[in-house]
Structure 1
Amino acid sequence: MRFAILSACLAALAITAPAAAQMGMPKPLPAEALVDQAEPDKAAWLTRNIVAEGSIAGGIAFRFPASFYRSKLILLGESHGFAAPQVVDLELLTHLNQRIGLTDYVAEVDPVQADLLNRYLVTGDDALLTRVFDFWTKSGAQWGNRAFEAKVRGIRALNQRLPEKRRIRLLGIDAIQDWALVAEWAANGDAEAAKRLAAAPKDDRARTLRAAIADRTGTVAGQLRATLDDAVAGKGRETIIFDSYARAVGGDLLGNRPAYGLWGMYHVMQAGINKTRPFAARVVASDLPAAKATTSVALLALDSAVQIPAPMPTGLRRLRMTNFNMDGPYVMVKGAATLRAASRPSTVRIFDLGAKGTPFTGSAFSEVATSVGQSFVPDATGADAPRMAQYLGVFTNSDWAAPREPQ
């Protein structure tokens, strides 16, 4: 599952979009699945335990408890395609930089994409930014949007105001996304070699690229070799992400420093979902320093628009849709009515789900019904269920993350 939230649901819609294009939009959930009554006492408790609040356009005030700032790993979870989470991400990153000197952003990108983005942060060379974003734009990934691009530009602007030792840098710990970019990087400026490497058969490309960089030196080369080794071994994406993070903690790349990043919702959940283990769940079950010091913040949408990339007979079309929020008609998060009662228009609010006297179990807001893919159920529910996320945010009236045109 991609935690009670739209992340998996929207991903599922994108996957099934060719069929949707031929048959029309999916059917809404049955009326009985959309029944959800607000619980006023619980909504009131939420409004008494707000730890961040502000406009969806920015200006968020953070007042997390002291324990939040002792975290070794802080993960913000979103459903890709909404604009507001990108604003929250930049403001929370800025806050953590100011409050605890955090500089390490663990990003949902691969090592080579991170290398180009870091070089952009230093040089301001738009060609580097364009090369990374054009892949997402052309491939149909929701990452190909203007809000994300504006955030990266915002990180560069922040860095320019900071002393060198306080500047943000990205750690790319994801599995390989852009294989052609990795081939270009491995070829080291040799265009013909890049073409040959990019043409390697899909089932052999990891091994081919691993051999091509066997003698390359430097931090990025070391990261990339390890990531490709995992791919050659047939490891899944969550395992690769966890392995990459563990290596960064065990070496000089991250060490004992705290890290923060924005990820798709599924990755930040701290317990099993549909009998699978997300990245954060793997961290809290490990022997890493962050095992007992990982904090997850989940963001849910109300009355907002989202970008959905949909393959059509005429090509990829990015749709602006307003009916994929957490309270129907295609997705329903159990407890959504209570969250609505605790929300405000055009506002981001983050609640401390584990504050004193909490009426919420660890699996609260993690049960989802959907008509566009697999419904999602936490592996454990009830009073003894491990907490999926320590904090839950709701944003309202966000626009979509508008698509970025290829350059």
Structure 2
Amino acid sequence: MRHFITALILSLVPIAARAQIPPALPAEALVEVVDPAKVNYLKAHVVVSGPVTGPFTLRLPNAAYRARLFLVGESHGSAAPQALDLQLLTELNRRVGLRDYLAEIDPVQAERFNRYLTTGDEADLDRVFAHWDHAAQWGNTLFKDKVRKVRALNQALPAGKRIRFWGIDAIQYWPLLIDWLTAAGAAPDAKALEAAPTEKAKADLALTWLAASNGGDPITRAALRVGLTQRAAGNRESIIFAGYEHLVTSGALGDRPAYGLWGVFHVLQSSVNGNAPFATRVRQSKLPAAQSMVGIALVLLDSTVLIPAPTPEGVKMMRMTQFNTDGPMIKMDGSADLRAATTPNSLTVFNLAAPGSPYASGPDFARVQTTVGQNFVPDDPKAPATAYLGMIGVVRGSDWAPPL
């Protein structure tokens, strides 16, 4: 579902000039009959609940607290997931001592965040968010405030339980990497990097400068080497997986549990549209988390999101109401049952994998039609919902995450 937003941003270039939005799905595509048995199952297996603004009541299965990897997937730009993210992180830290936040950021951004957590210097936060401001859904006030709240949490914790960020994503902002390489003793050529015709060419240049440098945090250096090498050869999901695999096998993370908030697509545990998401690659690996992973996908109903939309005057951060999972532009199979099992202005997470689950068969939640990007088509049409995720959350009535 994260790719819906990416496709939307691209599609809005001509749309903005025409002052109109993408077309709705055909009316017949939005019609779905509610299944009372599934609704009853969902209502009987609530594991998180509360008002959409939080706080939330957590009744997660005990096994969830033993997971090596705990991932929450969201549609970026909505307020409620940020509130749940902070509460889950705080609860996992309190209950099992989890202190590793696996973030949808790159290693250099993570280093800046961690420096902020230690020093409180807002300049480090500002440097990262400056890239996202007017460019990405991450450029919102709630995400920035959440990082501040993580620092406040750390201030109340003993040193051994304090949270740190790990960045395993592809390089998001090349100028920030240039800054890092320069400080590490290299002599990167910003103009050459900007002129490089492909991401592979950029990564190859950066690897050359990284090899010529002799300073910088060694953990960041190692993570950059892995990510840039993979970026020169693979797609984004392979970069993310390689970053996580390196943290585990190098001992930087090791067998400690990790938690993170990601776009929904990354947390799916089976392949869609011929692409294996990050969580799928973990599931297929020999890492400790392969058989010890929790995934929650949060979907939106009656909610609004922040969208960075290109216009003739530049990118505008827009508050959009049309991108919920039961129409008018996106329709997820099973969304009618999710609506029937929830109430307005609430956030509810259901356990799909309890004994007797009707979601152990059938493609609910895995098939998605849309007019703002590529449809979601499961690679295995017979795979049940539980092959993709163990829990699904419904966000009803969330406001957007306001832009910076």
- Under TM normalisation by the shorter chain, which class is it? over 0.9
In 1, the alpha carbon distance for the partners of 2:35 and 2:296 equals: 22
In 2, the alpha carbon distance for the partners of 1:216 and 1:58 equals: 46
Alignment partner, residue 250 of structure 1: 249
How far off its partner does 1:384 sit? 5.8
Aligned partner of 1:169 among 151, 164, 170: 164
1:138-162 Cα distance to aligned partner (Å, 9 max, x none): 4x11111111111111111111111
Alignment partner, residue 264 of structure 1: 263
1:250-329 correspondence runs (5 A): 250-329=249-328
| SS at structure 2 position matched to 1:59 | coil
1:312-343 Cα distance to aligned partner (Å, 9 max, x none): 11111111111211111111111111101111
Aligned partner of 2:89 among 86, 89, 93: 93
Alignment partner, residue 213 of structure 1: 210
1:231-242 correspondence runs (5 A): 231-232=231-232, 234-242=233-241
* Corresponding residue pairs, total: 397
Contact 2:185 2:214 in 1 (8 A): no
1:362-401 Cα distance to aligned partner (Å, 9 max, x none): 6321111111121111112336676101000011111001
In 2, the alpha carbon distance for the partners of 1:137 and 1:365 equals: 32
How far off its partner does 1:25 sit? 1.3
Contact 2:184 2:214 in 1 (8 A): no
Indicate whether 1:143 and 2:138 are aligned. Answer: yes
Q: Which amino acid aligns with 1:247?
A: H
Q: Which amino acid aligns with 2:34?
A: A
1:4-24 Cα distance to aligned partner (Å, 9 max, x none): xxx222221112110222342
Q: Which amino acid aligns with 1:221?
A: R
Q: Which amino acid aligns with 2:142?
A: A
In 2, the alpha carbon distance for the partners of 1:385 and 1:40 equals: 17
How far off its partner does 1:212 sit? 1.9
Contact 1:380 1:386 in 2 (8 A): no
| SS at structure 2 position matched to 1:26 | coil
In 1, the alpha carbon distance for the partners of 2:160 and 2:189 equals: 35
How far off its partner does 1:198 sit? 4.8
More RCO (CA 8 Å, sep 6+): 1
- Alpha-carbon distance change, 94 to 197 in structure 1, aligned in 2, over 3 angstroms: farther
How far off its partner does 1:216 sit? 2.9
Alignment partner, residue 338 of structure 1: 337
1:111-144 Cα distance to aligned partner (Å, 9 max, x none): 0000001111111111100000110114x11111
TM-score by length of 2: 0.94
- Seq. identity, %: 46
Q: What runs of 5+ residues in structure 1 fail to find an aligned partner? A: none
Alignment partner, residue 81 of structure 1: 77
- Alpha-carbon distance change, 331 to 211 in structure 1, aligned in 2, over 3 angstroms: same
Contact 1:142 1:308 in 2 (8 A): yes
In 1, the alpha carbon distance for the partners of 2:373 and 2:141 equals: 27
Q: Which amino acid aligns with 2:378?
A: P
1:345-360 correspondence runs (5 A): 345-360=344-359
Q: What runs of 5+ residues in structure 2 fail to find an aligned partner? A: none
In 2, the alpha carbon distance for the partners of 1:247 and 1:191 equals: 24
Alignment partner, residue 55 of structure 2: 59
Contact 1:200 1:208 in 2 (8 A): no
How far off its partner does 1:253 sit? 1.0
- Alpha-carbon distance change, 385 to 76 in structure 1, aligned in 2, over 3 angstroms: closer
In 2, the alpha carbon distance for the partners of 1:209 and 1:122 equals: 28
1:379-390 correspondence runs (5 A): 379-382=379-382, 387-390=387-390
| SS at structure 2 position matched to 1:9 | helix
Alignment partner, residue 46 of structure 2: 50
